[in-house]
Amino acid sequence: MSPEADAGGAGGKTVIQRAESLFDSVTLAAVAQEIRAVGRGRFAGVRQPSADTVVVSLSAARTVQHLLCSIHPRTARVHFATRPEATERLTPFGALLRSRLTEARLGAVEQPPFNRLLRLGFDALQGRLWLVAEMMGRHSNLILTDERVVLGALKVVTVAMSPRRPVLPGRPYVPPPADRPTPPALDLEGVRSVLRSPVPVARRLSQALLGVSPLVGREIAMRAGLDPAIPAEEAVESAGRIHEVLRAITAVISDGAFSPTLYLDGARVVAFAPFSMRAFEGVASQAAPTMSAAIDRYYREGSPTVHLEERRTQLASMVKAALTRRERALEESRRILAESAAADRFRVLGDLILTHARDVRPRDQVLRAPDYTAGGGEVAIPLDPALTPSENAQRYFRRYAKARATARALPARIAQIEAEARALRDALVQIDGAVSSDDLWEIQADLAGGSLVGRAPRSRPVVRTGPRRFRTADGATILVGRSARENDQITFHEAGPEDLWFHARGLAGAHVILKASGRPSHSSIEAAAQTAAYYSEGRQAGQVAVDSVERKHVRKPRGAPPGAVTYTEERTLLVAPALPPPDPSGGRRRAPRTET
């Protein structure tokens, strides 16, 4: 969701609310009306596109509709959606729905007015079961209950997490507290009482009334002819107009007179609403066939960054944790290797014990003997008094053998950990530059394939973007790998022997290829080098050293992981990180993408 968009409104501006403010109790009422229209739809399966989203399929009149229920803290919502294509394994809650709702039919749809609570009653083999969707921002949840207790929840809430309202299997289900009056419950004097506050009138209505979102609060103020930003106490004289607006909106909900509307910035969807809103005056609008269609289009087209940023953060956190483990292992391995360098000393001490065994008395804890390796100086050798001199000597010989074995094995182990750490640092750069879900899928798939992170990604997004492609001013093409495997792909399969290969010197970063017909121009070479600097750890630096070499001088060592190469004959350029300049017609010069 675009956090804001300016247009029209009481003060000349309309503020498009954040995504979580758009799906409110009024929108939920419009969706509930659509669910009722399904009639006694039969449960036709459950899917989970993500850990916080459940899709319940309902079959009716030879068609199947997919009811998406998300408890994401920023995008909690319920609506019919297009068929989910990327799914994860069912969580225990998803498996519970699948087992309990088999052969069940939808028998009731309840949504108290101005309440972000939806109850779906399913007539199952064991009786009526209720799937309860609580759409309350970060407190959102999806719960399955019978007439008595909670059977399961998508988000289990322990007593330690919420002493007032835990949500646990086996405990009675308690609805969220209704601690404020709803608009239908207010008479004129009640409205006046609500308005006696210095808080802006739109915010005051949202704070004091159950089910009135910030957006609806703004709409109420504007329909009453008020500036939403004025103090509520200054609107007391307009209480009658506000009361009428509240009654009108209540009538829309009770009559089901919704008119789903989309709001657009050019071709981009920036908002949706259950009816035409004055709060969006000045923003282009478009009627939607259903409320669900409007919501589904918004979340598919207008708000991709919410989930992208969340996935970016989650994957970066996973990679950083793996990198920290490698760095600790590297530090420990280097310490052990340094200690093993003294392996010969254990052999000398064992030899000295055998040589001076006759000087060792029973129960001695130290043997003092001349050290022939130190010019005859005396050395104190610790002994185990429970062992004979020969056994003490053998103990030192075993330590010598172990240290020698460690000294032989550790360099390879250290090299492996260093390579893994480099790959993880490369992945962090790739994650930072990712612009699509497919970018992140590529990166995580590489990491999981190399056993660098434990969890493989879920099903690949349908839209596959392939390597980044840019066009320089003189028509050359710049290819940029999004992941380790794509680095290998563009370097060893798409680049020709004479094409130029670029990489930030000594830094984690992407492989970059410059393909030109004939000898590339200096401006194209500089643009490719700047692109390599941009997609590297040095992005925030003023200047970055970038190596450039013909692709034929780049080699992949036998057994090396994806993205690891060696090269010779390089030339180093010092450039500022930047993407290729925009073309004269406007926008970024980008070569047509290839679908893979």
> By mean pLDDT, which of 58-72, 191-205, 371-385, 488-502 is the weakest?
371-385
Contact 241, 214 (CB under 8 A): no
Mean pLDDT value of segment 195-223: 92
In angstroms, rounded to a whole number, what is the distance separating the alpha carbons of residues 238 and 221? Answer: 10
Q: Is the pLDDT of residue 245 over 90?
A: yes
In angstroms, rounded to a whole number, what is the distance separating the alpha carbons of residues 165 and 157? Answer: 8
Nearest to 73 by CA among 20, 144, 1: 20
Q: Is the pLDDT of residue 82 over 90?
A: no
CB burial class (10 A; 0-12, 13-18, 19+) of residue 349?
Answer: buried
Please, where are the H alpha helices in 48-90?
none
pLDDT at 500: 95
Model pLDDT for residues 109-143, shown as the tens digit of each residue:
999 989 999 999 999 988 999 999 999 888 999 99
> By mean pLDDT, which of 147-161, 299-313, 417-431, 475-489 is the weakest?
299-313
Q: Is the pLDDT of residue 158 over 80?
A: yes
Model pLDDT for residues 61-78, shown as the tens digit of each residue:
889 999 999 998 888 999
pLDDT at 21: 67
Q: Is the pLDDT of residue 234 over 90?
A: yes
DSSP 84: P
pLDDT at 530: 94
The residue ranking higher by pLDDT, 290 or 427, is 290
Q: Is the pLDDT of residue 27 over 90?
A: yes
Q: For the chain, give the mean pLDDT.
A: 85
pLDDT > 90: what percent of the chain?
47
H or E segment and range at residue 248: helix 239-255
pLDDT at 586: 42
Q: Is the pLDDT of residue 459 over 70?
A: no
Q: How many CB atoms lie within 10 A of CB 283?
A: 20
In angstroms, rounded to a whole number, what is the distance separating the alpha carbons of residues 130 and 237? Answer: 45
In angstroms, rounded to a whole number, what is the distance separating the alpha carbons of residues 178 and 198? Answer: 24
pLDDT at 464: 63
Contact 28, 118 (CB under 8 A): yes
pLDDT at 15: 45
pLDDT at 533: 94
Nearest to 484 by CA among 568, 565, 577, 572: 565
Mean pLDDT value of segment 46-63: 88
Query: Helices 389-433 and 305-340, interaxial angle, to 10°?
Result: 160
Nearest to 143 by CA among 157, 129, 153: 153
Query: 588 falls in which pLDDT band (50, 70, 90)?
Result: very low
pLDDT > 70: what percent of the chain?
90
Residues in a beta bridge with 576: none
Specify the amino acid at residue 259.
Answer: S
At 481, list the tokens. 């790998």
In the three-class reduction of DSSP (H, G, I as helix; E, B as strand; rest coil), residue 369 is classed as: strand
CB burial class (10 A; 0-12, 13-18, 19+) of residue 517?
Answer: exposed
Specify the amino acid at residue 240.
Answer: G
pLDDT at 374: 64
Query: 483 falls in which pLDDT band (50, 70, 90)?
Result: confident
Model pLDDT for residues 389-422, shown as the tens digit of each residue:
898 889 888 888 888 887 777 888 888 888 888 8
At 104, list the tokens. 């069940």
In the three-class reduction of DSSP (H, G, I as helix; E, B as strand; rest coil), residue 263 is classed as: strand
Query: 87 falls in which pLDDT band (50, 70, 90)?
Result: low
Residue length, the chain?
A: 596
* Planar angle of CA 173, 48, 100, nearest 5 degrees: 45
DSSP 177: P
pLDDT at 491: 93
Spell out a b/e string for 318-333, using b for 16 or more CB atoms within 10 Å of the CB, else e.
bbeebbeebeebbeeb
The residue ranking higher by pLDDT, 194 or 308, is 194
Model pLDDT for residues 268-279, shown as the tens digit of each residue:
788 899 999 998
Model pLDDT for residues 163-192, shown as the tens digit of each residue:
889 999 999 999 988 888 999 999 999 999
pLDDT at 306: 61
- CA-to-CA separations, 187 to 180, 243, 244, 404, in angstroms, rounded: 14, 7, 10, 88
CB burial class (10 A; 0-12, 13-18, 19+) of residue 276?
Answer: middle
Contact 541, 577 (CB under 8 A): yes
Contact 153, 142 (CB under 8 A): yes
In angstroms, rounded to a whole number, what is the distance separating the alpha carbons of residues 467 and 252? Answer: 50
Specify the amino acid at residue 101.
Answer: L
Q: What is the DSSP string of 28-56?
A: HHHHHHHHHTT-SPEEEEEEEEETTEEEE
pLDDT at 221: 94
H or E segment and range at residue 445: helix 437-449
Model pLDDT for residues 543-563, shown as the tens digit of each residue:
999 999 999 999 998 878 888
In angstroms, rounded to a whole number, what is the distance separating the alpha carbons of residues 431 and 446? Answer: 12
pLDDT at 2: 36
